[in-house]
Amino acid sequence: MKKLLFLTLFGLAAAMTYAGGYRVGLQGQRRLAMGHTGVAVVDNAELAFFNPAGLVYLEDRINVAVGASAVFSDVVWQNDQYGQMARTDSPVGTPFYAYFSYKASDWLTLGLAAYTPYGSSVEWPTDWSGSHLVNNIDLKAIYIQALASIKISEQLSIGGGPIYVNGSVNFNRNLNRTLSDIDGNRANVTVDASGVHAWGWSLGAMYNPTDKLRIGANYRSEIIVEAENGDADFSNIPNSPLTPFNDTRFDASLPLPAELSIGLSYEISDKWLVAFDYNRAFWDVYKSLDIDFQDPAIPDSKNPRNYKDANIYRFGAQYIANDMFTLRAGYYFDESPVQSGYFAPETPRNDAHGFTAGLSVNITEKLSIDASFLYNRFKEVEESYDYYTENGQNVPFEGSYKSVAFVPGLGVTFKI
């Protein structure tokens, strides 16, 4: 009865958020429950993402981990000077993961992984005060990866593999702050591209100096997603040669930045494990969101972003309560890659404190249910995006932002 109550409570607890930019750090319930540490934790198939080098140290022949999260994330914006306020009504995001590993020999494990490390779904009220920057955006990217994990010795292994990315983007904003048709409907553009693909890779290494201590490093390459021939649909354009916005095609590119993780885990006792990860996300690559419209009459859209590299510090602990329950908790501090003055409402992210918890319930020897949740706490910030221009003049869009995010997640681990 108690267990049931516990699970019910857990399931009901709305959980919370994200990482900086449009990175979504939700790649495994067990790892997330420990603050999304895991580059040096050998536990289940979630290693396929966190550090494929560790897969070869999994004891069972076949390991599977599958799960999904529900991201409840919203933002409120307010401008005191003009008495304006807006809240996002963003759809629930559902990032997922599926990992599989197969021990081909004592020194070689092969694997497959699918996960969604990048994405963003933000929906502001249509025609809100910042509608010249964004009305809504939906960005999705699925990573599919083949993996090999090679044991060099009992102390050292490496692992990695090529990544295929398939992404889509749908973005709508008003053309400027005022242009409208005869009935006052605001002129806007929707850019839409799907089935955009690109390639990348990841490579990790694990070193076990003692049987209690593991040290890991993992690098995932930068992947620039190039959308070509996407659809650009213009709506509510006045019937005038002065506003020649006909539907056209567009080219744009969006970087999915590289990420380096290094970390360690230490088994304090049979029951207790602690882990620390450091991530560096190389956001510096995201200089500008440029949309190149193919119709030469339509000026290209240049939107400086000027992100900077960002660090994440992660801590996690695991307690094996008994044969049935394993409890986990964690914390991380996630630096925003967004610099002051570049705070665009399409990814309104400031520094986040992530609090995580979760548990695994071993249903049988082979099957566990993994649950986690994340609560992201953001400070209220006074920020602006200063690089929108009108008549050659920068027109800052400013105000107070406050975000919250809850992310409950559920997964299963299977091993034979």
Partner 1 sequence: MMKNYRFLAVGLLALGIVSCEPDLDHPIDEKGSVYSNGEADFTHYVALGNSLTAGYADNALYITGQTNSYPNILAGQFALTQETDEFTIPYMNDNAGGLLANGQQITNNRLVLATDGEGNNSPSVYTGMAPTTDIANILEGPFSNMGVPGAKSYHLGVEGYGNLAGVQAGLANPYFVRFASSPQTSVMADAMAQNPTFFSLWIGNNDVLGYATSGGTGVNQAGNLNPATYGSNDITDPQVFASVYSGLVQTLTANGAGGVLINIPDVTSIAFFNTVPNNALVLDAQTAGNLTAYFSAVSQVFAGGLMAQGVPQEQAMALAAQYAITFNEGPNRFIIDVPVTQTNPLGFRQMTEDELIQLQVDQSALASGYGSVKLTAEVQQVLGLLMAGGTPTAEQANILFSGVNGLDDADVLDSTEISEIQTATAAFNQTIAAVANANGLAMVDANALLNGVANGGFSFDGGTVTATYATGGAFSLDGVHLTPRGYAIVANEIIDQINATYGSTVPKVNVGQYGTITLSNDVQ
Nearer Cβ to partner 1 (80/226): 80
The answer to whether residues 27 and 97 touch, using CB atoms and an 8 Å cutoff, is: yes
- Nearest distance in Å: CB 297, partner 1: 13
Q: Which CB, 59 or 183, lies closer to partner 1? A: 183
Shortest Å, Cβ 355 to partner 1 = 7
Shortest distance in whole angstroms from residue 58 CB to partner 1: 27
Who's near 236: CB < 8 A, 6+ residues apart?
180, 181, 185, 186, 187, 188
Nearer to partner 1, 364 or 391 (CB): 391
**In sequence order, what are the beta bridge partners of 249?**
231
With respect to partner 1, which residue has the nearer C-beta, 80 or 228? Answer: 80
Determine contact, residues 343/384, Cβ cutoff 8 Å.
yes
**Rounded to the nearest whole angstrom, what is the least distance from the CB of residue 3 to partner 1 in the complex?**
8
Write b or e for each residue in 278-313: b if 16 or more Cβ atoms lie within 10 A of its Cβ, otherwise e. bbbbbbbebeebbbbbeeeebeebebbbebbebebb
Min dist. Cβ of residue 305 to partner 1 (A): 21
Give the nearest distance from C-beta 185 to partner 1 in angstroms. Answer: 9
Comparison of 89 and 226: residue with beta carbon closer to partner 1: 89
Comparing CB distances to partner 1, the nearer of 242 and 269 is 242
Q: How far is the CB of 84 from partner 1 (least distance, A)?
A: 7
Cβ atoms of 169 and 176 closer than 8 Å: no
| Least distance in angstroms from the C-beta of 19 to partner 1 | 17
Hunting for tokens 């010249």 — which residue is that? Answer: 132
Smaller CB separation from partner 1, 228 or 380:
380
Comparing CB distances to partner 1, the nearer of 146 and 321 is 321
Distance CA 121, CA 91 (A): 7
Q: How far is the CB of 122 from partner 1 (least distance, A)?
A: 13
SS3 for 235-265 is: ECCCCCCCCCCCCEEEEEEEEECCEEEEEEE
The least distance separating partner 1 from the CB of residue 280, rounded to whole angstroms, comes to 28
| Tokens 């986690």, located at residue | 372
How far apart are CB 326 and partner 1 at their closest, in Å? Answer: 11
Question: Residue 271 or residue 287: which is nearer to partner 1 going by CB?
Answer: 271
- Cβ proximity to partner 1: between 187 and 256 the closer is 187
Q: Which residue has the tokens 């506003």?
A: 243
Cβ closer to partner 1: 142 or 374?
374
Residues that bind partner 1 (CB under 8 A): 2, 5-6, 9-10, 12-16, 72, 74-76, 78-85, 87, 129, 177-180, 182-184, 238-243, 319, 321-322, 327, 355, 357, 359, 373, 375, 378, 380, 390-391, 393, 395-396, 400, 402-404, 406
